[in-house]
Amino acid sequence: MAPAAEMGFVIEGGKKLHGSVVTNRSKNGAVALLAASLLNKGTTTLKKVPNIEEVNRLVEVLESIGVKVERSDHALKITPPEKVSLDGLDTEAAIRTRSILMFIGPLIHQFKTFDLPQSGGCDFGNRTIRPHLWALERFGVSIEVRSDRFIVSHTKLLPATIVLQESSDTATENALFAAALIPGTSVIKYASANYQVQEVCAFLQQLGVTIEGFGTSTLTVTGVSNIDMDVECTIGEDPIDAMFFIAAAATTKSELTVKNAPIEFLEIELSILEKMGLIFTLSDAGVSENGVTKLVDIHIKPSELVAYPERIHPRPYPGLNIDNLPFFAVIATQADGDTLINDWVFEKRAIYYTELDNLGATTLLLDPHRIQITGPKKLRAADIVAPPALRPASILIIAMLAAEGTSILRNIYIVNRGYEALISRLTSIGAQISAL
For CA atoms 378, 383, 386, 387, the dihedral sign is negative
Query: Tens of pLDDT along 371-410?
Result: 999 999 999 999 999 999 999 999 999 999 999 999 999 9
Q: Which residues make beta-bridge pairs with 335?
A: 305
% of the chain beyond a pLDDT of 70: 97
User: Which of 152, 125, 149, 130 is closest to 141 using CA atoms?
Assistant: 152
Residue 122, pLDDT > 80, answer no
- The separation between CA 81 and the C-alpha centre of its own chain, rounded to angstroms, equals 29
Q: Residues 409, 415, 417, CA angle at the centre, nearest 5°?
A: 155
CB atoms within 10 A of CB 3: 8
Hey, what domains does the chain have and what are their CATH numbers?
4-24+237-435 (3.65.10.10), 27-234 (3.65.10.10)
Residue 327 CB neighbours (<10 A): 25
Question: Does residue 127 carry a pLDDT above 70?
Answer: no
pLDDT at 16 over 70: yes
End-to-end, the C-alpha distance of the chain in Å comes to: 10
Residue-level pLDDT at 130: 85
Phi/psi of residue 180, each to 5°?
A: -60, -35
Mean pLDDT of the chain: 95
DSSP-derived letter for residue 408 is E
- Answer whether residue 304 shows pLDDT above 90: yes
φ and ψ at 213, to 5 degrees? 90, 15
pLDDT in tens, 195-224: 999 999 999 999 999 999 999 999 999 999
pLDDT for 43 equals 98
Give tens-digit pLDDT for 134-185. Answer: 999 999 999 998 888 999 999 999 999 999 998 999 999 999 999 999 999 9
Q: How much is the pTM?
A: 0.95
Helix (H) or strand (E) holding 57: helix 53-64
**Tens of pLDDT, residues 60-108:** 999 999 999 999 999 999 999 999 999 999 999 999 887 899 999 999 9
